Amino acid sequence: MTARSGCPRLVRAAVALAVVLSVLLQTACATPAFDRGAYLQNAKAALESATSEARTAELAASARLSGRATRAYTDTVVTSSEKAMGPIQTSFGGVDPASRQDDALRDTVLGVLGDTEDALAQARIAVRRNDRPALGRARIELAELGQRLQDTRDGLP
- Written as one string, the DSSP assignment of 61-116 is HHHHHTTSS-HHHHHHHHHHHHHHHHHHHHHHHTEE-SSGGGHHHHHHHHHHHHHH
Task: Return the SS3 of 31.
Answer: strand
Query: What pLDDT was estimated at residue 10?
Result: 52
Superfamily, domain 33-154: IL-4 antagonist (De novo design) like domain (1.20.120.660)
| Calpha distance 25→75 (Å, rounded) | 34
Could you report the per-residue pLDDT of 64-116, keeping only the tens digit for each? 999 999 999 999 999 999 999 999 999 999 999 989 999 999 999 999 999 99
The pLDDT of residue 15 is 52
Q: What is the pLDDT of residues 4-61, one digit of tens each?
A: 555 565 545 545 544 444 444 444 445 776 789 999 999 999 999 999 999 999 999 9
pLDDT value, residue 77: 98
Q: Which residue has the higher pLDDT, 29 or 127?
A: 127
